[in-house]
Amino acid sequence: MKLYRQTLRKQEQGMAHLGLAIIVIVVLAVVGFAGYTVYNKSGAGKKASTVTTTATDKTAAAADETGCVATYKDENLCKFADVGGKLQDMPFTGTGTVTGGDEAGTFDLQNDGKNNASFVVKSPSGELSVVVYNGHSYIKSGDSWTDYGTTADDANPAKGIDLVLSSGSTYTPQGKEACGSLTCFKYSLKEASSPNSDQTVWFDTKSYLLRQWKDIATGDDGTVTTTVMTITYPGKVTISKPSPVVTQ
């Protein structure tokens, strides 16, 4: 994300902290499950778990050896980690809102599963649009798009969103809830590296795909920011090269 952090500072134009805040949220903090990949070697159960799972270096290593379910005793969470870990390779759309403090706005993220993506951030002070296509980053300025050249491998907002069990995180089951027309397992998530952030994830009981994510973060000044994102899987997402394009 270093590329976006640098180039977006040139394009904010009154959007202040919002653009960068949303991008960090979407790219780096979505669900917070970046870390050790563990695989479920058995079928996933339908019954909501009551087991609190704490992932550590030791348990991650054990899961690699004996399997996720044998280590963590939570079939549903393990199935989610196995299926959700492939999210960046799936066509999906994410829509969300940010409320609290100066970070008020909405965002839309689209990923075609082929390493191309687009996202739009909107706030009362303006709009920020970014497209990652065929290895290039494009940022909209006025009626045209600026080509910032070849991107780093992690520039795609969907790249690296690995929904897997990560060391230093604790997952507590909260039962089941309706999520749109589906029924979802609900889990709260606490990360040792983000003690001021309380996250919640919902994944459905049929396909075990992420359907909603919520983060309530408290800043050093006491300001509370709430981010909510809903994810859908339309089967196909088309990302095209934007036009007209100018070269930086």
What digits encode the pLDDT tens for the residues 106-159?
888 899 988 888 888 888 777 888 888 988 888 888 899 988 877 655 555 555
**Total tally of structural domains belonging to the chain:** 1
Q: Is the pLDDT of residue 88 over 70?
A: yes
210-244, pLDDT tens digit by residue? Answer: 899 888 988 888 989 888 889 999 999 999 999 99
Q: What is the CATH number of the domain that holds 202?
A: 2.50.20.10
Q: What mean pLDDT is predicted for residues 152-169?
A: 60
What residues make up the domain containing 168?
1-248
Query: Which segments within the chain are labelled E, that is strand?
Result: 53-55, 92-99, 105-111, 117-123, 126-133, 136-141, 144-150, 169-179, 182-191, 194-204, 210-218, 224-232, 245-247
Backbone angles phi, psi at 165, to 5 degrees: -75, 125
- Which residue shows structure tokens 């909209």? 140
Q: In 10 A of CB 144, how many CB atoms? A: 13
- Residues 181-206 have a mean pLDDT of 89
